[in-house]
């Protein structure tokens, strides 16, 4: 394997914590086996060398086809399907958190090895398939001069965009290829420090509310709880008045949100904390309960206390909700969307999850899109690999972020390393 080894760059002494670690990933599902925490000078850190796709493509199941429908984008993150079938792509990169410790500098160096060198787009790009043949001939800039846009939602004629610092709204008319004017700011979003800068978003089924995921400003509140005001939460925003409130708290980094098509329940994927070993803590998929507290920073996966957090809060820990479904340790889930029957019988009921991939495991996890089956509105079964081979022994060709299901029968996958949009369809 052609890896950028932290050992060779920074010295083996810094990675004593990695010695002897069990590299088996945390189990998936509703009842993962949680090992004892492991602490050390630094976590193991590993990023495979980025390489181009060339003539290669990701691997998809038999009877499915994957096609690149857009290339040369500027860090595509999340997508949305418009009523006429057009695809909007949010492009950009945010964050401005200062480094606290030497390990933060080292971790930043390692993480940068697995990201694109392309300049942040700070824009929305529109893709259009003029004749319905699966080739998106039109690729235009819909709106620009945004600030690290991420979450997208369309309610009637209102197109909402969650920048890293504000929720904004565009007027939208079906079929337009460019915004008719600059956006209107609805509310400011927490952006001071912005350790986790992404602002995930989805709309309630009736369009009355927007839900916005706001990540923490640290790993385990090491900046102090004052820096965590309005962080590690999901906000509920009234679309009529702009009034907002915390809907759920204690979610370290809720990176993607979606609504169950039948139950209308809000679901999220959440990136959990680091530096407790390669097999802790599992990132997860969960329903988001109004008023619910999910543990961060005091505990993880329910009442498992994080020994690093001082002072503790026993009352908060006792109230912590156990997530619904573990996705595995450090998979970095950044996308989620419920499926449609048009995706085929084997993938008709459940969610697709985009796993961006680990940076802090010797044995990599993530770097794929998985499907989690559902039954009666709940996860029901093991995750199924759906789009894979973004990372191989040769290196890393791509990293999936947002996943969006086109109701006509396609999965749209944003790849922010290769700057590509992939489209997966059933073979007819």
Q: What is the pLDDT of residues 78-133, one digit of tens each?
A: 999 999 999 999 999 998 776 666 666 666 666 666 678 789 999 999 999 999 99
Neighbours of 302 (CB within 10 A): 14
Number of domains into which the chain is organized: 1
**Residue 406 covered by a domain:** yes
Q: Where residue 41 falls among pLDDT bands split at 50, 70, 90?
A: low
Asked whether the predicted pLDDT for residue 198 surpasses 60, the reply is yes
**Residue 61 covered by a domain:** yes
**Residue 128 covered by a domain:** yes
| The predicted structure's pLDDT at residue 11 | 35
Tokens standing for residue 57: 């493509």
| The predicted structure's pLDDT at residue 76 | 98
Q: Based on the number of CB atoms within 10 Å of its own CB, is 285 exposed (0-12), middle (13-18) or buried (19 or more)?
A: buried
| The predicted structure's pLDDT at residue 101 | 67
Asked whether the predicted pLDDT for residue 208 surpasses 60, the reply is yes
pLDDT per residue as tens digits for the range 309-321: 999 999 999 999 9
Specify the range with the lowest mean pLDDT, choosing from 9-13, 173-177, 293-297, 400-404: 9-13
Q: Based on the number of CB atoms within 10 Å of its own CB, is 375 exposed (0-12), middle (13-18) or buried (19 or more)?
A: exposed
Unique residue bearing structure tokens 């915390």: 246
**Residue 29 covered by a domain:** no
- The predicted model gives 357-384 an average pLDDT of 94
| The predicted structure's pLDDT at residue 3 | 36
Q: Of 217, 243, 211, nearest to 230 (Cα)? A: 217
Q: Where residue 360 falls among pLDDT bands split at 50, 70, 90?
A: confident
**Residue 25 covered by a domain:** no
Output DSSP code: residue 347: G
pTM here is 0.92
**Residue 246 covered by a domain:** yes
| The predicted structure's pLDDT at residue 369 | 98
Q: Tell me the three state secondary structure of residue 289.
A: coil
**Residue 284 covered by a domain:** yes
pLDDT per residue as tens digits for the range 268-310: 999 999 999 999 999 999 999 999 999 999 999 999 999 999 9
| The predicted structure's pLDDT at residue 42 | 66
Specify the range with the lowest mean pLDDT, choosing from 23-37, 79-93, 94-108, 325-339: 94-108
| The predicted structure's pLDDT at residue 129 | 97
Which CATH number covers residue 299?
2.120.10.30
Output DSSP code: residue 265: -
Higher pLDDT, 4 or 290: 290
Q: Where residue 2 falls among pLDDT bands split at 50, 70, 90?
A: very low
| The predicted structure's pLDDT at residue 116 | 81
How many CA atoms lie within 13 Å of 424's alpha carbon, on the beta-carbon side?
27
**Residue 28 covered by a domain:** no
| The predicted structure's pLDDT at residue 96 | 74
| The predicted structure's pLDDT at residue 4 | 37
Return all residues near 320 (Cβ < 8 A) that are at least 6 apart. Answer: 250, 293, 294, 295, 298, 299, 302, 303
Q: Of 88, 220, 69, 96, nearest to 162 (Cα)? A: 88
pLDDT per residue as tens digits for the range 233-260: 999 999 999 999 999 999 999 999 999 9
| The predicted structure's pLDDT at residue 117 | 79
Domain of 133 in residue numbering reads as: 3-20+34-426
Higher pLDDT, 310 or 4: 310
CA distance 177 to 156: 17
């Amino acid at each position: 394997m052609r890896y950028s080894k932290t050992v060779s760059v920074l010295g083996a002494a810094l990675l004593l914590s990695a010695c002897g670690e069990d590299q088996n990933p945390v189990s998936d599902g509703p009842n993962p086996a949680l090992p004892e925490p492991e602490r050390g000078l630094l976590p193991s850190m590993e990023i495979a060398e980025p390489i181009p796709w060339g003539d290669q493509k990701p691997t998809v199941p038999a009877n499915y086809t994957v096609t690149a429908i857009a290339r040369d984008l500027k860090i595509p993150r999340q997508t949305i399907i418009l009523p006429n079938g057009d695809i909007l792509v949010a492009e950009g990169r945010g964050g401005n958190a200062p480094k606290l410790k030497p390990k933060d500098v080292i971790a930043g160096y390692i993480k940068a090895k697995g990201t694109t060198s392309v300049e942040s787009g700070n824009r929305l790009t529109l893709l259009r398939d003029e004749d319905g043949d699966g080739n998106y001939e039109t690729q235009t800039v819909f709106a620009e001069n945004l600030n690290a846009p991420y979450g997208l939602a369309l309610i009637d004629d209102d197109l909402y965009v969650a920048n890293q610092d504000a929720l904004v709204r565009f007027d939208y008319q079906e079929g337009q290829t460019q915004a008719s004017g600059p956006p209107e700011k609805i509310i400011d979003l927490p952006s001071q420090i912005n350790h986790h800068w992404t602002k995930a978003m989805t709309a309630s089924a009736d369009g009355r509310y927007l839900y916005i995921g706001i990540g923490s400003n640290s790993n385990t509140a090491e900046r102090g709880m004052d820096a965590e005001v309005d962080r590690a939460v999901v906000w509920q925003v009234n679309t009529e008045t702009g009034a907002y409130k915390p809907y759920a708290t204690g979610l370290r980094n809720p990176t993607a949100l979606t609504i169950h098509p039948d139950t209308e329940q809000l679901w999220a994927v959440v990136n959990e904390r680091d530096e407790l070993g390669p097999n802790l803590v599992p990132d997860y998929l969960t329903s988001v309960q109004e008023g619910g507290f999910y543990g961060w920073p005091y505990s993880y996966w329910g009442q498992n206390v994080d020994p690093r957090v001082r002072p503790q809060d026993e009352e908060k820990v006792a109230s912590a909700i156990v997530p619904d479904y573990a996705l595995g340790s450090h998979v970095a889930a950044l996308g989620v969307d419920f499926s449609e029957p048009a995706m085929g019988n084997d993938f008709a009921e459940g969610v697709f999850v985009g796993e961006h991939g680990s940076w802090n495991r010797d044995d990599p996890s993530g770097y794929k899109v998985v499907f989690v089956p559902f039954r009666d509105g709940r996860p029901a079964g093991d995750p199924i690999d759906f789009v894979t081979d973004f990372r191989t022994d040769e290196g890393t060709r791509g990293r999936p972020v947002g996943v969006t299901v086109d109701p006509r029968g396609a999965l749209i996958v944003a790849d922010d390393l290769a700057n590509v949009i992939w489209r997966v369809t059933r073979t007819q």
